[in-house]
Structure 1
Amino acid sequence: MDWGKGIVLTFVAFATIMISMVTICMKQDDLHLVTKNYYEEEIKYQEHIDRVDNAAALGLDAFTFDSRSKAVDLHLPVGAKGELHLFRPSDARLDKKLALEIVDDASRYVDLKDLKPGYWRVKLTWSAEGKSYFQEEKITL
């Protein structure tokens, strides 16, 4: 075989590999961004830092995860309102957001048995007495 045929075969092999890789990448449908409104949330990040600082100043955990009963116990004052975001990093389709309002002791328990087993991030945002707070914890179901 001469040089001309070798060069042509090399280009054809390269083009075939590139077309195959592009085709495989285009067929993937399970790619998810961390959040849909990434840039808007980036601008509001200072508010998030203030919420984290407020929660740290309280000096207590706002919630605890019980791995045996697969539940979250909230340690918030009566009258607190907020949101519990159950975030699954590997698949955004499994994320859940639950609105919270603490009216009595019975509303402090959140059952997580219906979630898929695996790695989760539990993000709690709440407000009480005119201040906003945030706490996050990583759990494995």
Structure 2
Amino acid sequence: MDWGKGITLTIIGFVVLIMTMVVISVRMDGIELVTENYYEEEIKYQDRIDESNSAMKLDREVISYDAQSKVIELDLPNGTVGTLQLFRPSDSSLDQTIKVEVTHSGKTAVPVKQLKSGYWKVQLNWSENGVDHYQEKKITI
């Protein structure tokens, strides 16, 4: 075999390899953005930082997870209204949003036994004494 044939076969092999990789990546399922309205969320990001800072000033852990009983406990005062988002990074079809209304004193329990095992992000938005707060916790069920 001479140099010309070797170079030609190498180029053809390289093109076939690249085309195979392109076809595989185009057919791949499960590639999802974190959120559908990504740019709007990016604009609101400073508000999220401010809400997170105000939650840190509360000097209490608002979200806690009990792995044995598979319950998320929220330490919120009576009359608090908020939103609890259960975010599954690997599969957005499993995401859930739960409205939270605290009508009693003490911790509020949110059972998560029905959720698929794996990594979850728990995001809580709430308003307390006229101030908006945000806290996030990563859990493994």
**Which of the five TM-score ranges fits, normalised by the shorter chain?**
over 0.9
> Are the aligned partners of 1:117 and 1:140 in contact in 2 as well (CA < 8 Å)?
yes
Q: Which runs of 5+ in 1 are unaligned?
A: none
Which one has the bigger helix percentage? 1
Q: Which runs of 5+ in 2 are unaligned?
A: none
Are residue 50 (structure 1) and residue 44 (structure 2) matched?
A: no
**Residues 77-114 of structure 1: CA deviation (Å, up to 9, x unaligned):** 11111111111122222211111111235992111001
Number of equivalenced pairs = 141
> Are the aligned partners of 1:122 and 1:139 in contact in 2 as well (CA < 8 Å)?
yes
What CA distance in whole angstroms lies between the structure 2 residues aligned with 1:52 and 1:63? 13
Q: What is the SS of the residue equivalent to 1:89?
A: coil
- C-alpha displacement of 1:68: 0.8
What CA distance in whole angstroms lies between the structure 1 residues aligned with 2:68 and 2:27? 40
Q: Which residue of 2 is the match for residue 72 of structure 1? A: 72
What CA distance in whole angstroms lies between the structure 1 residues aligned with 2:105 and 2:118? 29
**Residues 42-71 of structure 1: CA deviation (Å, up to 9, x unaligned):** 111111111111111111111211111101
Q: Which residue of 2 is the match for residue 131 of structure 1? A: 131
Could you tell me the percent identity over the aligned residues? 47
Q: RMSD of aligned C-alpha atoms? A: 1.6
> Are the aligned partners of 2:75 and 2:107 in contact in 1 as well (CA < 8 Å)?
no
- C-alpha displacement of 1:73: 1.3
Q: Which residue of 2 is the match for residue 10 of structure 1? A: 10
What CA distance in whole angstroms lies between the structure 1 residues aligned with 2:23 and 2:106? 53
Q: What is the SS of the residue equivalent to 1:115?
A: coil
Report the residue type matching 1:85 in the other structure.
Q
- C-alpha displacement of 1:118: 1.1
